[in-house]
Amino acid sequence: MTYQIIPPITGKPIPAKPARPQSLPAANGTRVIPQAVKGKFRTLKWRLLVLCLAVYYVLPFLRWGRGPGLPDQAVLFDLANVRFYVFFIEIRAQELYYLTGLLVLATLVLVLMNALAGRIWCGFFCPQTIWTDLFLLVERKFEGDRRQQMQALKQPLTLSRLLRKTAKHVVWLGIAAATGGAFVLYFADAPTLLRRLASGEAPLLAYSMVLTLTFTTYCLAGLAREKVCTFMCPWPRLQGAIWDAQALTVNYRPQRGEPRMSAKKAVAAREMGLPAGDCVDCNACVAVCPMGIDIRQGPSIACINCGLCVDACDSTMFRLDRLRGLIDYESWTNIEREMQGKERLPVRLLRPKVLAIALAALALAAGMAIHLSGRATLALAVIHERTPAAVQLSDGQIRNAYEVRITSTTGEASLIRLSATGNAPLTLASPGLEPDEDGSLAVDLAADGSRKLRVTLTAGPELAGDIRFTLQNPANGGEAATQSRFFLP
C-alpha cells in the first residue's frame, strides 16, 4: 500500500514510502506486552468488562419460580433431562431446533456488527478479550507496566521478581478456577453444586469440567492472549471475507499524519513551506495495542477494533495541542477519499446492507418468539418397532408394537388420554395401563411432563395402512396427534 501525502501548504502530492507489510509479533514469537492507557474507549472497555463478568458470575444464582416439581434456577441447562431453562422459556429435547435458530440469529448479529463497526464484538464483548484484559490488569499490578516488564526481561531473574511472577500466576489460576467453577453452575442447581464442590462431594464430571476450564482459561487468557485472536479464532478470516469499506473501523489518517517527524521538526518544516504531518512517531499506538500491530501500516486482519490506539493517539495530540482523530473510528471509504484529496462523506450507518441484515435478524427473532409462544402444550412422537414389524397371533389377529413418547409443557401433573384410530376396529394396549370404555389409555404424567410407553395395536387383517394416534389433556383441552403405519406380516 502506498500513500499519497498532500502537504498543508504547497498542496502538491508527495509520494510517501510504501508501507511495509504488517509483521505481527504473534507470528515471529515476540511477546506482546501492551501498555496501560486512559481514555474513553478504555473506560468503556472496563465498564463492559465489569458488566459481563457480573452477568457471568451472578446469573446462575438468580431464581425463577416455575411451579412445584420444576427447578427454580433462572438459567439452567439440564443435560440429564435434555431441558434448557432461560427465565420463562423452557426448551425440551424435541425442541432443540430452537438452538439452531439461536445460532443463525447469533451469526446474523455478528455480521450486522461487522457491517456497522468491523470487529467491534472482538474488541469489547468477546470472552477472550474480557478475560485477557483482566489477566493483563493482574500482570501490571504485580510486574509493572510495559516499560518495567521489558526492562525486567533484559535482567537476570531475582528472588523478588520470581515471587511477583509466582503471585501473578497464583492469582491467574484463581481467576481461571472461578471461571470454570461458575461455568458448571449453569448445569445444576448453583447453590447446591457450589456447596458440594467445596465439600468434595460433587460428581467427578463436575471436577473434571472445572479443571478443564481452569486450564483453558489460564492458557488462553494468560499465556496465548493475542495468538488466540490471530491464529485460533476463525472470525478474523470470516470478517476479512465480509469486510465492509463503509463500516466504522479503527484507521490512521495518512494524509494528515505523514510525513512523520518530531513536533519541533514539524514546526520548522512548516515555517520553510515543507510538508509536515501531525504524527510524531511516538509509537504510543503500537505500545498500547493488545495485538502488537501498527495501525499506521494500514488495515490488519489482527486488529480487534478495540480503540485503545485511538485513546493513546488522542492523548498525544492533546499534549501537543493538535486536533484529535489522527487515529479514529472512520470508514475506509473516507480514508481513501481523504488520501485522494476529496471531501469526506458523512458516515451512513443505516445503509441498505445494514437494514437488510437487521430486518433478517428481527424477522428470525420474531418468528422464533411467535412459534415459542404459540407452541402446543402437548407433544406426541410415535416410532414403529421394526423387529418384527408385525406378528400374527394364534386367533388370526395382527399385532404391531410402537414406542410412544409423550411430553407436556404445562409444568403440572396431569392425566393424559391416548387413543388410536384406523380404517377398521383395533385394540390399544400397554403394559400397566388399563383401557377405558372408549378404548383409550389413561396416562399419568408427573410434573416433569415426560413419559415413554410401549404400546401395541391388535386388529384383523383388514386394518392396514395409516393409523392416527391422538393425545388429549381433558384438564386444559390440549391436543396432539400424529400418524403411523399398521403393517401386515
Q: By mean pLDDT, which of 91-95, 172-176, 249-253 is the weakest?
A: 91-95
Could you tell me which residue, 411 or 168, shows the higher pLDDT?
168
Question: Residue 281 is part of which domain span?
Answer: 4-23+242-344
CB 276 within 8 A of CB 266: yes
Is 17 a member of any domain? yes
Helix (H) or strand (E) holding 120: helix 120-124
Residue 425 DSSP symbol: -
Cell of 125: 464483548
Determine whether 30 is exposed, middle or buried from the number of CB atoms within 10 Å of its CB (0-12, 13-18, 19+).
exposed
Indicate if 474 and 422 belong to the same structural domain. Answer: yes
User: In this model, does residue 480 exceed pLDDT 90?
Assistant: no
**Structure confidence at residue 29 (pLDDT):** 55
Spatial distance between the Cα atoms of 101 and 209, rounded to a whole number of angstroms: 27
Indicate if 405 and 326 belong to the same structural domain. Answer: no
Q: By mean pLDDT, which of 93-102, 154-163, 350-359 is the weakest?
A: 93-102
Cell 414403529: give the residue: 384
Read off φ and ψ for residue 187, nearest 5 degrees: -110, 5
Which of 36-50, 265-279, 464-478 has maximum average pLDDT? Answer: 36-50
Cell 485522494: give the residue: 340
Indicate if 382 and 428 belong to the same structural domain. Answer: yes
Indicate if 403 and 455 belong to the same structural domain. Answer: yes
Is 42 a member of any domain? no
Determine whether 54 is exposed, middle or buried from the number of CB atoms within 10 Å of its CB (0-12, 13-18, 19+).
exposed
Nearest in space to 307 (alpha carbons), one of 288, 323, 292: 288
Indicate if 250 and 337 belong to the same structural domain. Answer: yes
Say how many CA atoms lie within 13 Å of 8 toward its Cβ: 14
Angle at 293 between CA 291 and CA 299, to 5 degrees: 110
193-235 tens-digit pLDDT: 999 999 999 999 999 999 999 999 999 999 999 999 888 888 8
Query: What pTM was estimated for this model as a whole?
Result: 0.79
Residue 357 DSSP symbol: H
Average pLDDT for 83-96: 82
Q: Is 214 helix (H, G, I), strand (E, B) or coil?
A: helix
Indicate if 386 and 481 belong to the same structural domain. Answer: yes
Confidence band (pLDDT; 50, 70, 90) for 20? very low
375-414 tens-digit pLDDT: 777 888 899 988 888 899 988 899 999 999 888 776 666 7
pLDDT, the chain, mean: 87
CB 428 within 8 A of CB 435: yes
Indicate if 334 and 246 belong to the same structural domain. Answer: yes
User: In this model, does residue 282 exceed pLDDT 50?
Assistant: yes
96-146 tens-digit pLDDT: 788 899 999 999 999 999 999 988 999 999 999 999 999 999 999 999 999
Confidence band (pLDDT; 50, 70, 90) for 447? low
Last residue within a domain, chosen from 319, 344, 369? 344
% of the chain beyond a pLDDT of 70: 92
In this structure, how many other beta carbons lie within 10 angstroms of the beta carbon of residue 20?
10
- Cα 476 from chain centre: 39
Indicate if 328 and 394 belong to the same structural domain. Answer: no
**Structure confidence at residue 221 (pLDDT):** 94
Is 440 a member of any domain? yes
Q: What per-residue string of b and e applies to 407-441 under the rule 16 or more CB within 10 Å gives b?
A: bbbbbbebebbbbbebeeebebebeebeeeeeebb
**Structure confidence at residue 238 (pLDDT):** 82
Average pLDDT for 150-177: 93
Indicate if 339 and 259 belong to the same structural domain. Answer: yes
Indicate if 482 and 383 belong to the same structural domain. Answer: yes
User: In this model, does residue 425 exceed pLDDT 80?
Assistant: yes
**Structure confidence at residue 164 (pLDDT):** 94
| Integer angstrom CA distances of residue 152 from 145, 161, 164, 226, 450 | 11, 8, 12, 21, 63
Cell of 173: 489460576
Give 254-269 as a DSSP string: HHHHPSP--HHHHHHH
- Whether the CA torsion 162, 163, 169, 172 is positive or negative: it is negative
% of the chain beyond a pLDDT of 90: 52
65-83 tens-digit pLDDT: 877 777 889 999 988 877 8
27-67 tens-digit pLDDT: 455 789 999 999 999 999 999 999 999 999 999 999 998 77
Is 35 a member of any domain? no
Could you tell me which residue, 25 or 356, shows the higher pLDDT?
356
Cell of 110: 455478528
Cell 423387529: give the residue: 387
CATH number of the domain enclosing 409: 2.60.40.10
Is 270 a member of any domain? yes
**Structure confidence at residue 25 (pLDDT):** 53
Number of H helices, E strands in the chain: 17, 16
Indicate if 337 and 269 belong to the same structural domain. Answer: yes
**Structure confidence at residue 71 (pLDDT):** 87
Confidence band (pLDDT; 50, 70, 90) for 440? confident
Last residue within a domain, chosen from 322, 344, 366? 344
Spatial distance between the Cα atoms of 287 and 149, rounded to a whole number of angstroms: 13
Last residue within a domain, chosen from 299, 326, 344? 344
Is 264 a member of any domain? yes
Total number of domains constituting the chain: 2
Is 272 a member of any domain? yes
Is 434 a member of any domain? yes
Helix (H) or strand (E) holding 89: strand 89-91
CB 16 within 8 A of CB 3: yes
| Integer angstrom CA distances of residue 381 from 98, 224, 406, 481 | 18, 48, 7, 9
CB 136 within 8 A of CB 290: yes
Give 430-458 as a DSSP string: BTTB-B-TTS-EEEEE-TT-EEEEEEEEE
Indicate if 382 and 482 belong to the same structural domain. Answer: yes
What are the start-end ranges of the E strands in 300-349? Answer: 327-330
Instruction: Give the residue ranges of DSSP H helices in 185-250.
Output: 190-199, 204-217, 226-227, 235-241
**Structure confidence at residue 4 (pLDDT):** 38
